[in-house]
Structure 1
Amino acid sequence: MVNDFTSRYSWLTQLFLVLLRFAIGWHLLYEGLYKLNTYSTNDPWSATAYLQNSEGPLSESFRGLVDANDPGSIFEQQAIARHWRKLLPGPDQNEQGGEDQEVSAEDRLQLARVGLQEELLSQVNRHWQNYSQNFKRSYQLEVEQQESVLGELRHAKQELRKKLIDGPDNAVQQAFDHYVRDSTLPAGSSLTRREVQNMTDNLAVVRDLVMQSTVTYHEQLAGLLSPVQLERQNPAVVSATGAVNWVVMAGLIGCGVCLILGLFGRLAALGAATMLLLFYVAMPPLPGLTASTVGGAHYLYVNNNLIEAMAALVLASTPSSRWVGLDAVVMPVLSFLWRGMRRQEKTTVAEQE
């Protein structure tokens, strides 16, 4: 059987296909192990940024996988620029009203700041609302405790609004103004490295305020629990993003190991191609999208993920794991066992007749 497979390909073709399988397998395995190793550090890997910044036809589906309980997910800069830019009055709107209705740059900035503040508050409130719902379900709160949770939620919303908009802390408002000014520049505007860093620092000021308010809100909710409830293990369901993280790492490691060992090679190659194609459609290098320029590279329609996925599909169409790999032993054994089971079934049917 192996000779039938090998007779279709020259020895040089077989060699390069096996090397290609090793290369793709090692790439996937190392990527998966690297991500897994970050969970022993203070900065574990998460697919949140990739999902939140997803673009293209299926972007809404990928963004829907982001954990709804983490307010930090709304601070991905690409997502903010994409989601908030639609709130700003464009230059065409200013021109339609004539010179008498022309909006000055400062007025436009003020209008943008107010709109973005309200949008930020709305998104944070939505995250807090989801957390409060999970909190009530997890600890099986009494009716009075549930009412207290709603009261703490209203109080947290009021405090955040006071600090972000109505409070005397000008540092946060100034940082937000600077971030609005930088993030609403016309398309094609270039920023220096210092300006990009300042933009990141300004956003961090607002993010720190939101995260600090979130921690305070969580502590207030924990203070509502009885001693018995505090001792109870929180049965919170694993978040969608957490599940995606582990599926991605398991898929990378599993496909990588199988490709290197040549174990279920065609199935592993098909699985690798599926994962790589999902990575591709999450951020396709289409015209006008950020995925078309990554680092110093420039792509249009085709990028590394698509090329590697096509290479994996080539491997899925060839028996390279039967040439060099465990499938050379495993597949004949499985085939022998399968034929034995079929013969046993036929014998049983014949005896019954």
Structure 2
Amino acid sequence: MRLVNDWKRISLAAVILIVLLRLSIGWQFLYEGLWKYDQLKGPNPWSAEGYLKAAQGPFRDHFRNMTGDPDDLGWFDFDTVNNRWTRWRDTFVAHYGLNEKQVATLDQLLTGPKDYRVSLPQLPPKVAELDRFVRDELRSGPKLSYDAARKQLVLDASTPLKPDETTLLLAASDLKRNEQGELVAKENAPEGALNDVSRAWYLAIETLDSQASKLPYRSKLLAQLKGDPDKVGVIAKADQRYAPVMGTERSDGKTVEMIKYGEIQEYKDMLAAYKAAEKKAKTDFELAHLEATWAKIQAKRTGLAGPIKALEKSLKDDATKMLTREQLGRGPAPREVTPLTKASDMAMWSLLILGPLLLVGLCTRLAAVAGAAMLLSFYLVVPPWPGVPQPPGPEHSFIVNKNLIEVIALLAIAFMPTGSWFGLDGIFRWLFRRGKAPATK
């Protein structure tokens, strides 16, 4: 009975402070949600990826899996990234209404031309039989040909010139560049080597080499995910003509040699070893070792996925540069719907909805409970519990952190009529009671 009487005598100061607490949390929610929403309009939209992937503790797998690709393995698969780029290209074209010229420019950025062409009135004597020169001198390396009808030197885009091939082609002109960068005849060149035909050939080869060196983005992606032996490794099958040197692996009954062990496979093996050790780790030493191993894995992941992510960002930046002012006014192209965008949007819209409800005191109890549930999920991403590694930062907590304190505060608000004290809940309650007919005896 004493407790009930004390509750009825709650002071005005306590009422004001509790209402201010509700308003403060509501404002924090609203501002955070507005900031995230505003970031969606920029080139680097906000995402919950970093927070979710850093999850630790007993719910670690649940939160990390919300990203759809917790270990960034999709970034190491050429087809996955390439298909995403194709979907992005179609969305980009439709959203900004690109004209034919812009579409052609975008496709050239992505895929590049089928071949590179440069004007050339005629071939110099040493390469008059261009097919033979390519076959014998260049060992059939580049697909280089001469279009006599259009008077153009043509290089197939699938075979960009290698440095040694460029050197041999330039040497066929008997010319070189001096220290001032001027074209001059070589010391042992025949008389009259410095002529218009040789000069045109030298400049044509330089132009082709420059054009072909600017690889389209798909080719750059292919080079990183399928052509870089440091990343993907080198595998060869033993046969009668070739016997690899390094240790063998058995695959389908055939001998397969791992000539070079790629970093991507090394990263996958590190992940598998970590997951196996995680299930067995019990002691403080094992947990500390596990934490150190995880840091190494994340460093490896960043080093491998970083260049691919940077490549994608560069592609989108280059594509944006071709847009007119009117097209830019349409805002950013819609994001592809993925598990990560769903998780990010759910957090953002929760903040944008619950914040105003708490501020104006509408459905206050429900908003407070929902806000407490949302913050509890944030708390569980990296709970400050014994044995759970904590992210670096100025905050040092044990069991209780800022998120949990706000959870408790919101639950307290939910059990008090703060919306009736100051808010729309009070107005609606007054109107509802006023509209009731007086009871008859």
In the superposition, the TM-score normalised over structure 2's length comes to 0.44
Per-residue CA deviations over 1:9-43 (Å, capped at 9, x if unaligned) read 22222122111111111111111112112223333
Instruction: Tell me what 2:121 maps to.
Output: none
- Is 2:385 aligned against 1:320? no
Classify 1:131/1:8 alpha carbon distance in 2 versus 1 (closer, same or farther; 3 Å): farther
Superposed CA deviations along residues 177-202 of structure 1, whole A, max 9, x for unmatched, are 9xx9xxx9x958xx9xxxx9xx97x9
CA distance in 1, matches of 2:407, 2:338: 28
Structure 1, unpaired ranges of 5+: 76-121, 140-152, 219-233, 341-353
> Which residue is 2:23 aligned to?
22
Equivalent position SS for 1:251? helix
Larger Rg: 2
Distance in 2 (alpha carbons) for counterparts of 1:216 and 1:46 = 18
> In structure 1, what is the Cα distance between the partners aligned to 2:52 and 2:31?
21
Quick check: 1:283 aligned with 2:416?
no
* Bigger share in strand: 2
8 Å contact 2:60–2:381 — kept in the other structure?
yes
Deviation at 1:134, TM superposition (A): 11
Q: Residue type matched to 2:67 in 1?
A: V
Deviation at 1:332, TM superposition (A): 3.9
SS in 1 for 2:44: coil
Task: Quickly say closer, same or farther: Cα 1:203–1:34, change in 2 above 3 A.
Answer: same
TM-score (norm 1): 0.54
Q: Give the Å deviation of 1:125.
A: 4.6
Q: Choose which of 277, 295, 306 in structure 1 pairs with 2:393.
A: 295
Asked if 1:248 corresponds to 2:249, the answer is no
Note closer, same or farther for the CA distance 1:214–1:296 as it changes in structure 2 (3 Å cut): closer
Any unmatched runs of 5+ in structure 2? 91-217, 234-261, 275-285, 317-332
By how many angstroms is 1:281 displaced? 0.9
CA distance in 2, matches of 1:267, 1:12: 24
After superposition, the C-alpha distances for 1:201-228 in whole angstroms (9 at most, x for unaligned) are x97664343336778999xxxxxxxxxx
Distance 1:212 1:16, change over 3 A: closer
Specify the SS of the correspondent of 2:398.
Answer: coil
Letter in 1 for 2:230: I
Q: What's the C-alpha RMSD, in Å, of the aligned pairs? A: 4.7
Higher relative contact order (CA 8 A, sep 6+): 1
Aligned to 1:9, what secondary structure does the other structure show? coil
CA separation in 2, counterparts of 1:123 and 1:286? 32
- Contact 2:66-2:340 at 8 Å conserved across structures: yes
Change (3 A) 1:17 1:49: same
CA contact (8 A) 1:125 1:157 kept: no
Report whether the alignment pairs 1:266 with 2:365.
yes
Query: Separation in 2 of the partners of 1:36 and 1:288?
Result: 35
Distance 1:315 1:127 in 2: 51
